[in-house]
């Protein structure tokens, strides 16, 4: 009877320690790389800058969704909002990671980083001589 109690106690302690290690941990699940968000038919564009966007969802006890699922398109639109003259995104990196908050639940986060591109600025030649 004494051995059974010791074995049970050791198993419970190992289980608790393994769960405590999950508190606030970040577990990257997936990384996706894309060339562009839309088809870029020409090389006549200008990189306006690099941006990041993210969206997240919370799951109670890791199973029951409290908020809607993370939206990649929302994260991408956050990047484009920072550059009003931006047309599309290139060199897109999408990373999905889980953040466990034991015992409350799980937060799934979608992080998007990309380069924003737009049309190159055209210089309009000014006429020095006015036609009269």
pLDDT (tens digit per residue) in 2-42:
566 777 777 776 666 555 555 545 555 677 777 777 777 77
> 61, 113 in Cβ contact below 8 A?
no
Percent of the chain with pLDDT over 90: 23
Judge whether residue 85 has pLDDT over 50: yes
pLDDT (tens digit per residue) in 54-70:
999 998 887 788 889 89
Judge whether residue 98 has pLDDT over 70: yes
> 78, 56 in Cβ contact below 8 A?
no
Compute φ and ψ for 32, nearest 5 degrees: -120, 140
Output DSSP code: residue 72.
H
Q: What is the spatial order of strands in the sheet that 64-65 belongs to?
A: 25-36, 88-101, 105-118, 46-60, 64-65
Dihedral of CA 23/28/30/35: which sign?
A: positive
């Amino acid at each position: 009877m004494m051995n059974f109690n010791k074995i049970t106690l050791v198993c419970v302690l190992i289980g608790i320690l393994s769960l405590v290690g999950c508190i606030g941990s970040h577990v990257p699940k997936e990384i996706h790389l894309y060339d562009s968000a839309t088809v870029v038919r020409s090389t006549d564009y200008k990189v306006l800058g690099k941006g990041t966007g993210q969206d997240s969802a919370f799951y109670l006890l890791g199973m029951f969704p409290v908020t809607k699922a993370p939206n990649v398109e929302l994260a991408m639109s956050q990047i484009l909002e920072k550059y009003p003259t931006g047309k599309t995104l290139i060199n897109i990196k999408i990373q999905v990671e889980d953040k466990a908050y034991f015992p409350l639940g799980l937060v799934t986060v979608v992080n998007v980083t990309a380069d924003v591109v737009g049309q190159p600025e055209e210089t309009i030649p000014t006429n020095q001589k006015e036609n009269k």
